[in-house]
Amino acid sequence: MKLYSYWRSSCSWRVRIALKLKGLAYEYAPVHLVKDGGEQHGDAYRAINPMRTVPTLELTEGGQVRRLSQSLAILEYLEERHPSPALLPAEPYLRAHTRMLSEMVNSGIQPLQNLAVLQRIKGEYKGDDKAWCAYWIERGLIAFQAAAQETAGTYCVGHAVSFADICLVPQLYGARRFGVDLKPFELLTRIEAACASLPAFLAAHPDQQPDAVPA
């Protein structure tokens, strides 16, 4: 497997966590989203992913090269193809609740802080991109924490890591980048700390990636 990734992309980070948790080896292929206007916009990468986003997971199955983009679609594929350890609960309601929490980040927060959106807000509309991000991240985390109260144990849904935790941890990193005060989110930062003690989360962290930019 080959993962086209950018070290600080929260969507790429989700997939890295899942791959590490499931013990799957992969080749890391960096795609720099900023350098020279963004490598994702070049013809070579557009041929791999027409949406010009990361991550893209490239697979060779039966001699055929296949590619998947969109992080949650990739997580679902990995869960079905490599079901152990399970990252979705077996019980139907909890399974749906996990997907709901994941989508609160995936569709309710992350797209609004996407690099392409911020570049347009700042460049085209001369807006305050950081204030924009902080507003939507805080709004989303308030909702996420309220929903997670129902099912939280050690992690977002009980005592096993799930898609919800995989989405939450990168989002909290993004919240700090944009100056969101996380003191009101004690439940979420407690879950984050539990995840941070796991080797898979440590190995998937942006600072550990080969294309990481030193602080």
Cis peptide before 55 (omega within 30 of 0): yes
- Tell me: do 23 and 66 sit in the same domain: yes
Structure confidence by residue, pLDDT tens digits, 111-155: 999 889 999 999 999 999 999 999 999 999 999 999 999 999 999
Structure confidence by residue, pLDDT tens digits, 16-56: 999 999 999 999 999 999 999 999 999 999 999 999 999 99
> Within a domain: residue 53?
yes
Domain housing 53: 2-84
- Tell me: do 12 and 36 sit in the same domain: yes
Structure confidence by residue, pLDDT tens digits, 149-164: 999 999 999 999 999 9
Beta partners for residue 60, in sequence order: 65
Give 2's pLDDT tier (boundaries 50, 70, 90). very high
Distance in angstroms (rounded) separating the CA atoms of residues 54 and 146: 29
Distance in angstroms (rounded) separating the CA atoms of residues 5 and 15: 9
- Tell me: do 66 and 125 sit in the same domain: no
Checking DSSP bridges between strand 56-61 and strand 27-30, what pairing results, if any?
unpaired
Distance in angstroms (rounded) separating the CA atoms of residues 26 and 89: 25
Q: Compute φ and ψ for 113, nearest 5 degrees.
A: -115, 10
pTM of the model: 0.96
Find the radius of gyration of the CA atoms of the chain: 17
- Tell me: do 79 and 142 sit in the same domain: no
Q: In what order do the strands lie in the sheet with 27-30?
A: 27-30, 2-5, 56-61, 64-69
- Report the Cα 40 to chain-centroid distance in Å: 18
Last residue of one domain, picked from the residues 84, 101, 128: 84
The answer to whether 21 touches 200, Cβ cutoff 8 Å, is yes
Total number of domains in the chain = 2
Please compute the mean of the pLDDT values over residues 13-18 and round it to a whole number: 98
Q: Is 81 helix (H, G, I), strand (E, B) or coil?
A: helix
Share of the chain above pLDDT 90, in %: 97
Last residue of one domain, picked from the residues 84, 104, 129: 84
Q: Is 9 helix (H, G, I), strand (E, B) or coil?
A: coil
- Tell me: do 56 and 148 sit in the same domain: no
- Tell me: do 100 and 194 sit in the same domain: yes
> Within a domain: residue 206?
no
> Within a domain: residue 165?
yes
pLDDT score of 207: 97
pLDDT score of 215: 73
- CATH of residue 160's domain is 1.20.1050.10
> Within a domain: residue 211?
no
Last residue of one domain, picked from the residues 84, 116, 135: 84
Structure confidence by residue, pLDDT tens digits, 163-187: 999 999 999 999 999 999 999 999 9
